[in-house]
Amino acid sequence: MEHKETTHTIGYTVYIFIWLGLVVLTGLTVVVAGVDLRQIAVAVAILIASIKSVLVMNYFMHLKYEPPLFKLMVSVLIVTFFIFIGLTFSDILFRY
């Protein structure tokens, strides 16, 4: 079995646009924190953080160019993480 290695180069403009997107999403997080969203505040914060983490993982950690098996392993890790977070939130909700 032959291992073929390719390198992917990304221009600086892509990194600048991703960085600007992260800055905008951070600003959106600050704005949303100042708005009274009641029950969906945590969900909105997690949604924005998830979008930011996907951008970081795909471009700065170069996950976009990894083999499918590696992407699957990362996906299983993220699903497992959300299961643990969900179980923690359910424990806190039903504690009192």
Closest Cα partner for 52 from 80, 83, 30?
A: 30
Predicted confidence pLDDT, tens digits, the chain (96 residues):
666 777 778 889 999 999 999 999 999 999 999 999 888 988 899 899 999 999 999 999 889 888 999 999 999 999 999 899 889 888 878 876
What is the count of structural domains for the chain?
A: 2
Do 53 and 71 fall within a single domain? no
Tokens representing 80 are 């497992």
pLDDT of residue 12: 92
pLDDT of residue 69: 94
pLDDT of residue 16: 96
Do 37 and 78 fall within a single domain? no
Largest CA distance in the chain: 59
Buried b (16+ CB within 10 A) or exposed e, 46-62: eeeeeebeebebebeee
* Domain residue limits at 86: 66-96
Do 47 and 79 fall within a single domain? no
Do 36 and 46 fall within a single domain? yes
Residues in the chain, overall count? 96
Do 57 and 11 fall within a single domain? yes
Do 70 and 26 fall within a single domain? no
Question: What is the DSSP-derived secondary structure letter of residue 66?
Answer: S
**Segment (H or E) for 13:** helix 12-34
